[in-house]
Structure 1
Amino acid sequence: MNTVIAREPVTAATHTSEAAARTYRKIAWRIVPFLLVCYIVSYLDRVNLSFAKLQFMQDLGFTDAVYGLGGGLFYLTYVLFEVPSNLYLQRVGARATLLRIMTLWGAVTVLMSLITSPTHLYVARCLLGAAEAGFFPGVILYLTYWFPSTYRARIMSIFLMGIPVSGWIGGPLAGWIMHDLSGLHGLRGWQLLFIYEGLPAIALGITAYFYLTNGVAQAKWLSDSEKAIVLADLQAEHADKSVTSSESIGTLFRDPRFYAAVFAYFAITCATVAMSLWVPTLIKGLAVNDLRTIGWLSAVPYLAATVGLWAIGRHSDYRLERRYHVAVSLVASAAGFILLGFTGGSVGWTIALLALAATGLYGAIPVFWAIPTSYLSRSNAPAGIALISSLGCLGGFLSTAIIGWVKSLTGSLDLAMGAVGLLLIVASAGLLIAFPARMIQPARANAS
């Protein structure tokens, strides 16, 4: 039995746009800030390896190739468990799902402080990927239970701010922990980093179980009229979709749009992993050796991306346009990645181009997710969202492993970053071709 989406009949919506706006604002303030904090912690635990690397590479004698493979293995198990996790969310609800996911990944992050060999690193990253699998697509699916498509780009923009916010918090925080606290409790700075950033995930997972509501019908903090507004809007949206709820998951694999979405997210993941796992190394390669300085410099691109992510998502909802907002943003990001090889070692130009790359990249992500969620049927949405996310996340494994290998061979990240930029350009063209505007254009009603 599905415990997440209400099945009782809902009468046609007779509400005003003002009443709808008040209702969705109330829902947003109730659930989105908490989910944002969860995602910030999620991303901190996923990419704190990039800062820990600056110390444990010397402590443990690892090479860039070992680091690259360890960073990438996260995505293999993440892919394997992502779809089952999203399907299971439909059965048990978001509360129990987030409790399981967050407590497990927090525990694994803490245990990463004990690694002493490449094998330990590989096993820990595989376990972390399996534990965290399902969090991101689960939240994307969960948001579709509360918001119609006209609101999703801006809502997803707020949630996805967790990525750049974790960047501008995580950099200085990691630099401080690793530099100023190293030696506390007899532990190195990188060990303390894993412990201190893993414990909050456990606390948030327990909080999620008691704070969140599985769906609109169970929300005691909404009035009956507010519930009716949301349920009527969502039901009308599902009725307007060209695919019916009786379709099987097999229809996804016969739809060329599915593969275009997977490839686009594959390219996006390659770029986000290149940004999150290699920027500290890139900055250190500019003869910047102080850990605190590296942390602060790495935060600058994410500060720019935070503003861009919010502005692009909001403008997309205002104009009710998705395709070109994604495509133009990805091309701008591509330019930043490609031009990194032409800075001549300048710290200022490198940080400016990283800011351009981050702004375009992270600004495109929430608008991208408004595209597949706008055409997938209700029955296919859980598996479809998870499949796009998980198959696209294979880019995380390939990107990290290949970048590490290229860095070991050439001593430079320029060639790999340029390749990431070209991949983003191809992905943006594929999306424009695969998704005609009429297919994913949200209705203007209640879009205020």
Structure 2
Amino acid sequence: MSTSLAAPQAGATASSREDAVFRKVSWRIVPLIVLCYVVSYLDRVNVGFAKLQMSQQLGFSETIFGLGAGIFFFGYFLFEVPSNLALNRFGAKVWIARIMITWGLISACFVFVSTPTSFYVMRFLLGLAEAGFYPGIIMYLTHWYPSHRRAKIVAMFMSAIPVSGIFGNPLSGLIMDAFGGAGGWAGWQWMFLFEALPAVVVGLVVFWYLDNSVADAKWLDDDEKRIVANAIAEDRKHKNEGAPAMSAFSDKRVWFMSLIYFCFVMGQYGLTFWMPTFIKSTGIKGNLMIGVLSAIPFLAAVVAMNLFGRSADARRERRWHLVIPALMGTVGFAVAAAYSQSTAVSLVSLSLAAAGVLTCAPLFWSLPTAFLGGAAAAAGIAVINSVGNLAGFVSPFVIGALKDATGSAAAGMYVLAASLVVGVICVLKTPAALVNR
């Protein structure tokens, strides 16, 4: 009798110990990488807020702005795989710091943009500088967490996207209103300068604070390192860790994942780049008020991302936890398009769209990381992210062109809704046995 009772108790004790160790890991790693991504995403999409002044002052049409906003992703696409392989070789500590400091300096140089050509060039260079950051962090997390713990952590990491909107949009509006005309600069120029500085500072913190691997972590004792290493080793048993990097390019699953991610990124960047314009089109005046109202959908997204992430890990189910938020985004975009003249309805529907589409990204990454391993993981994650992020070019450009052609953002939002539906169909065609781990 006593033996039968002791075994479950011992197992429960071991599980509790493992949970405690991974909580310690999370407290060390997650706050810093979330801060990094808040800074990254703010520098990537604050051009959407700058548009409220730039387009008029510099004479940019909606199509020019959409092309400039999206051309970032060409530079991102070209350097994504080499950058992620460099991170795998040199370590996250050096490479993430390099990325952040470089993009901070380039982002600050946006104060000198004056023509469409200079706008395009700077956005392209910003994409080159930032390439490798996001897939590098995703790969980095696979070195610290097994699959069944990762969706929650990636959701926490990607909460940086709505957090950057919650704080960044009102901050951008405040800077543009408060500093417009100071020193002969427009408000959007001051915004670019002020919001670029944190990237350089945080980049230096990363170099000092981040550890490349479990073995380097002086803040873990030997027993804690063993627990983390054993969990990672157990998780990797079903992966081909010896697969060369180039094998990712011939893996049909990688390209299918790229298609799924492309569909969801269409919605993500359509929302984040054009949110201020969507809100303004309902009749709201004043940059600060637009910023405050734009933060509401991102608040809804923070809640949804973390609820779905925790549920996916607890149930070890991935597909339906991805399908449901994608359908939420579809409904949100469709209703926002149909009732674009009502601020109240637009805010509710954009909140539903944000909660859905921003939840898709962290849950998506539990799919490819469930079967990719070794050097192939570095290349495969980079391939998926770079191809998927080409939607970051297509989405703002298509919405801008449709807005110029129709005078309304409604047609663009219907395109975003349709893209999410295609993503849902592809997710449902993914074998559950491949990703539910």
The verdict on a shared fold, with TM-score over 0.5 as the criterion, is yes
- For 2:106, which of 105, 108, 115 is the aligned residue? 108
**Counterpart check, 1:274 vs 2:270:** yes
Q: Mapping of 1:17-56 within 5 angstroms?
A: 17-56=15-54
For the Cα contact (< 8 Å) 1:338–1:419, is it kept in 2? no
| CA deviation after TM superposition for structure 1 residue 171, in Å | 1.1
For 1:75 and 1:240, the matched residues in 2 are separated by 33
Aligned counterpart, 1:233: 231
For 1:64 and 1:338, the matched residues in 2 are separated by 21
The alpha-carbon distance between structure 1 residues 14 and 350, as it changes in their structure 2 partners (threshold 3 A), is closer
Q: Mapping of 1:89-104 within 5 angstroms?
A: 89-104=87-102
For 2:162 and 2:203, the matched residues in 1 are separated by 21
For the Cα contact (< 8 Å) 2:246–2:379, is it kept in 1? no
Moved more, 251-260 or 77-86: 251-260
TM-superposition CA deviations, 1:282-314 (whole Å, max 9, x none): 111122121111111111100100111111101
- Unaligned stretches of 5+ residues in structure 2: 1-10
Q: Which amino acid aligns with 1:325?
A: H
- For 1:286, which of 282, 291, 296 is the aligned residue? 282
| CA deviation after TM superposition for structure 1 residue 250, in Å | 4.7
Aligned counterpart, 1:368: 364
Aligned counterpart, 1:399: 395
**Counterpart check, 1:440 vs 2:426:** no
Q: Which amino acid aligns with 1:416?
A: G
For 2:33 and 2:81, the matched residues in 1 are separated by 20
Q: Which amino acid aligns with 1:429?
A: I
For 2:436 and 2:149, the matched residues in 1 are separated by 12
Q: Which amino acid aligns with 1:440?
A: V
Q: Which amino acid aligns with 1:28?
A: S
RMSD: 1.4
For 1:267 and 1:54, the matched residues in 2 are separated by 27
Q: Which amino acid aligns with 1:438?
A: A
**What's the secondary structure of 1:214's corresponding residue?**
coil
Residue correspondences, number: 427
Q: Which amino acid aligns with 1:56?
A: M
**Counterpart check, 1:409 vs 2:405:** yes
| CA deviation after TM superposition for structure 1 residue 324, in Å | 0.4
For 2:388 and 2:167, the matched residues in 1 are separated by 26
Aligned counterpart, 1:69: 67
For the Cα contact (< 8 Å) 1:40–1:166, is it kept in 2? yes
**Counterpart check, 1:427 vs 2:426:** no
| CA deviation after TM superposition for structure 1 residue 256, in Å | 3.2
**Counterpart check, 1:385 vs 2:381:** yes
For the Cα contact (< 8 Å) 1:153–1:370, is it kept in 2? yes
| CA deviation after TM superposition for structure 1 residue 120, in Å | 0.8
| CA deviation after TM superposition for structure 1 residue 119, in Å | 0.8
Aligned counterpart, 1:351: 347
- Under a length normalisation based on structure 2, what TM-score does the superposition of the two structures give? 0.95
| CA deviation after TM superposition for structure 1 residue 31, in Å | 0.9
TM-superposition CA deviations, 1:108-141 (whole Å, max 9, x none): 1110011111111001000100001000000001
Q: Mapping of 1:144-183 within 5 angstroms?
A: 144-183=142-181
TM-superposition CA deviations, 1:354-387 (whole Å, max 9, x none): 0000101111211111111111122311001110
Q: Which amino acid aligns with 1:176?
A: L
For 2:103 and 2:251, the matched residues in 1 are separated by 34
| CA deviation after TM superposition for structure 1 residue 325, in Å | 0.4
For the Cα contact (< 8 Å) 1:339–1:418, is it kept in 2? no
For 2:76 and 2:102, the matched residues in 1 are separated by 13
For the Cα contact (< 8 Å) 1:340–1:418, is it kept in 2? no
**What's the secondary structure of 2:374's corresponding residue?**
coil
The answer to which structure has the higher helix fraction is: 2
| CA deviation after TM superposition for structure 1 residue 20, in Å | 0.8
For 2:48 and 2:75, the matched residues in 1 are separated by 19
| CA deviation after TM superposition for structure 1 residue 172, in Å | 0.7
Q: Which amino acid aligns with 2:130?
A: E
For the Cα contact (< 8 Å) 1:312–1:364, is it kept in 2? no
User: Where has structure 1 moved over 3 Å in runs of 4 or more?
Assistant: 248-256
Aligned counterpart, 2:220: 222
Q: Which amino acid aligns with 2:370?
A: S
- Under a length normalisation based on structure 1, what TM-score does the superposition of the two structures give? 0.93
